[in-house]
Structure 1
Amino acid sequence: MVSFRQRSTSLGAVTTQQDVLPPAGRLPSDSARTVLFTLTGPDRPGVTTAVFGVLIRSGVEVLDVEQVVVRGHLTLSVLVTAGQDESGMILAVRMAGSDLGLSVSGEPGTGDNSKRRRNRLAVTLLGAPLLPSAVAGVTGRIAGHGANIDRIRRISRFPVTTIELDVSGGDGETLRRELAAEAMAHGADLAVSPAGLARRGRRVVVMDVDSTLIQDEVIELLAAHAGPEAEQRVAAVTERAMRGELDFAQSLHERVACLAGLPESVLGEVYAAVRLTRGARTLVRTMRRLGLTVGVVSGGFAEVVEPLARDLGITHVLANRLEIADGRLTGRVLGDVVDRAGKAAALRRFAELEGLPLSRTVAIGDGANDLDMLAAAGLGVAFNAKPVVREQADTSLSVPYLDAVLYLLGIPRSEIEDADEALDDTTRDDTTGDNTTGGTR
């Protein structure tokens, strides 16, 4: 295993006006009079200023504000204390809204929405395309459990459509199982995560390599250089392993034996031919910007995985190492095989090196060899995986874009693209670009 690898300021007890808490009783009680204004119509500059300009004259306090614009259509909600002239305030806001071409409702009532919501969850739903049936099915299941959807926002619109629902009042594990099954039935992917601070902060993200970080199986690329007979023998061993006749270590040793005699130079040729999964470069780059640590663990070969990790800026690496003598592959592997248990152990080791608990880890993989790693991680993501892996992982992605993992973590596409604006065209988002390692190094 290899690793490519604030100052605090103390202020005196100075109290400013901002430090002073409002007097007790300033927050409205459940019986206090409040007014909710909802304005809808075409968006234009100055709407918010005009509304709050009217409210200045009413001597009220602002309790809550929420605004959303969808394809130029504005919805603005403002909750304020009632003030002395409730009806006059409502009339004034309606007139201001009318001058702006907006429909305005003013609803007097009591109380605020400040009660703490219990069991807050982030439900992320994505699809390509995302169908109304998926949204209806998932939201219906949420309602059926007595949970409430407090807010919905779009995370991405291309190449997949992703929406995030803030949900309160539901049991996370129960909802995860039922909502994931419902989404899958409608051709969508879904993740349920704790909301709030639990989604933020440092993480360690550990990925499988073959058929996850890259589109290829490296041993198959090596076998192609050894000739048709070696390719057939490797394929036959793989098929026996799929039937359960061999464990991973046995199958690896038998397949590597088929490569005996290959010149060492082939490893460089194979690396140049490796194709990154779409979105892989964007995923790693964005995570590094956010302060997340990225690692890879592979049942493949360090001779290909290590240069790949260096090119992408990946911190931690674990992979099998081929024995080479006199410039040729001997057909043997050095040291212990990185198998299913080895991958999980690597995840724990990477987290330990970063000083983080397993709850702050994310694992991404596609095969049975990744199951222990996915189970050990705080969030296990099955990426275009086999059915047994999808069933056991915390969540799954069936879209062919690895950077969709970012949406599961609540990172919007707009923020990724804004951060990419300063980059050269050669290193921008690779969701639809050239994904060979040699073509973009």
Structure 2
Amino acid sequence: MTHDDSAARVAILDVDGTMHPRTIGLALLHEMRQRGLGRGDAIAEVMTAVGLLRAGSIDFPEMVARCTAAYAAALADVDPTQIIALAQVTWQELRRELFAFVRPLIARLGDAGVTPYIVSSSPHEIVALLAADLGVADCHGSRFTVDAGRYTGACEFMPGAPGGKLTLLRQFAAARGATLSRSIALGNGPGDLEVLAVVGRPLVFEAGPPLLTIARDRGWPQVDRINVLDYVDRALAS
């Protein structure tokens, strides 16, 4: 197989459960609850939806829909500057838990001329801090609508919704003249399936069902925190 070595490449990178062992948006929500910030009943609804998914009582799209609505409701009428300040405090704790491979991964992508793009369903307020910490210029988290200096209780964009990450990836790649067939995706859950399917170098990170079954059926490399850099090196060299 031949390819154009001069073609631009991007790497779309998931956060929750992939670069970080926790869901950083839930960690932020936990801190909100601890401080009595936001609607407590809506925060509880988010946690309930996550629990129902883990118990197999609802599927992933329903969990995303429920969590999106409840997270937005939890933020309603809160001053965004309070969430930004709390995200900074929360990230200072979370940053210590980043998987050890993450910083070397970003460095290797940069050395190879591949543009990293961090995309997560966690709120942009905390995803942006992770990206800045890693020196990554491009990121996208869930965005909640603000009007007159307050969150309105609505969600502007949720990457984890069907088609969300795929839309972002296509826009990002097109803006940079990147070739998806030579680009990389690293993810661990159903929300990453669409981007894993369109890139030429999909890497499935410590996934459970149903993504694990799909990865096996399609012959996608299954990687873990120990060998992921080896697989990234292979992807960059091909």
Instruction: Find the residue that maps to 2:120 and give its secondary structure.
Output: strand
Label 1:400 to 1:251 Cα distance change in 2 as closer, same or farther (>3 A): farther
One-letter amino acid of the structure 1 residue matched with residue 164 of structure 2: G
Cα RMSD (Å): 2.9
> Higher helix proportion, which one?
2
Partner of residue 209, structure 1: 15
Q: 1:270 pairs with 90, 100, 111, which one?
A: 90
> How far off its partner does 1:288 sit?
0.3
Question: Do structure 1's residue 372 and structure 2's residue 194 form an aligned pair?
Answer: yes
| Letter in structure 1 aligned against 2:91 | Y
1:387 CA displacement: 2.4
Q: How does 1:18-57 map to 2 (within 5 A)?
A: none
Q: Which residue of 1 aligns with 2:157?
A: 336
Q: 1:367, 1:389 within 8 Å by CA — same for their partners in 2?
A: yes
Q: Are the aligned partners of 2:121 and 2:158 in contact in 1 as well (CA < 8 Å)? A: yes
Provide the C-alpha distance between the structure 2 equivalents of 1:320 and 1:308, rounded to a whole number of angstroms: 14
TM-score, with structure 1 as normaliser? 0.43
Between the two structures, name the one with larger relative contact order (CA 8 Å, sep ≥ 6): 2
Change (3 A) 1:314 1:400: same
TM-superposed deviation, 1:250: 3.0
Q: Distance in 2 between matches of 1:306 and 1:204?
A: 18
Amino acid of the structure 1 residue aligned with 2:202: G
Q: Which runs of 5+ in 2 are unaligned?
A: 35-39
Deviation at 1:404, TM superposition (A): 4.0
Kindly indicate whether the alpha-carbon contact (under 8 Å) linking 1:340 and 1:371 is maintained by their aligned counterparts in 2.
no
1:416-431 → structure 2 map (5 Å cutoff): none
Deviation string, structure 1 residues 13-62 (Cα, Å, up to 9, x no partner):
xxxxxxxxxxxxxxxxxxxxxxxxxxxxxxxxxxxxxxxxxxxxxxxxxx
Listed as ranges, the gaps of 5+ residues in structure 1 are 1-193, 412-441
Specify the structure having the higher radius of gyration (Cα): 1
Distance 1:356 1:209, change over 3 A: same
Name the count of aligned residue pairs: 215
Alignment of 1:126-137 (within 5 A): none
CA distance in 2, matches of 1:283, 1:337: 26
Distance 1:280 1:382, change over 3 A: same
Paired residue for 1:251?
67
CA apart distance, 1:241:
4.1
| Residues 312-327 of structure 1: pairs in structure 2 closer than 5 A | 312-323=134-145
Partner Cα distance (1:410, 1:323) in 2: 38
What SS is found at the alignment partner of 2:47? helix
- The C-alpha deviation readout for 1:195-227, integer Å capped at 9, x for no partner, is xx6596642111111111222212221222233
Do the aligned partners of residues 327 and 350 (structure 1) sit closer, same or farther apart at CA in structure 2, a change above 3 Å counting?
closer
> Contact 1:207 / 1:364 at 8 angstroms: preserved in 2?
yes
Q: Deviations over 1:364-403 (max 9, x none)?
A: 1111111111111112111111222122232211345653
* Of 234, 251, 261, the match for 2:46: 234
Partner of 1:388: 210
- SS of the residue aligned with 1:299? strand
Offset, 1:268:
1.3
In structure 2, relative to structure 1, the CA distance for the partners of 1:285 and 1:325 (3 Å cut) is: same
Residues 258-316 of structure 1: CA distance to partner in whole angstroms, max 9, x if unpaired?
45558322121122122322210000011101211111111111111123222323243
Q: How many angstroms apart in 2 are the aligned matches of 1:206 and 1:350?
A: 9
CA contact (8 A) 2:193 2:211 kept: yes
Q: What CA distance in whole angstroms lies between the structure 1 residues aligned with 2:109 and 2:53? A: 34
Amino acid at match of 1:218: I
Tell me the alpha carbon deviations over residues 154-179 of structure 1, each in whole angstroms, 9 at most, x when there is no partner: xxxxxxxxxxxxxxxxxxxxxxxxxx
Asked whether the equivalents of residues 144 and 157 of structure 2 are also in contact (C-alpha less than 8 Å), the reply is no
> Which deviations, in whole Å up to 9, do the C-alpha atoms of 1:97-153 show, x marking residues without a partner?
xxxxxxxxxxxxxxxxxxxxxxxxxxxxxxxxxxxxxxxxxxxxxxxxxxxxxxxxx
SS of match in other structure, 1:224: helix
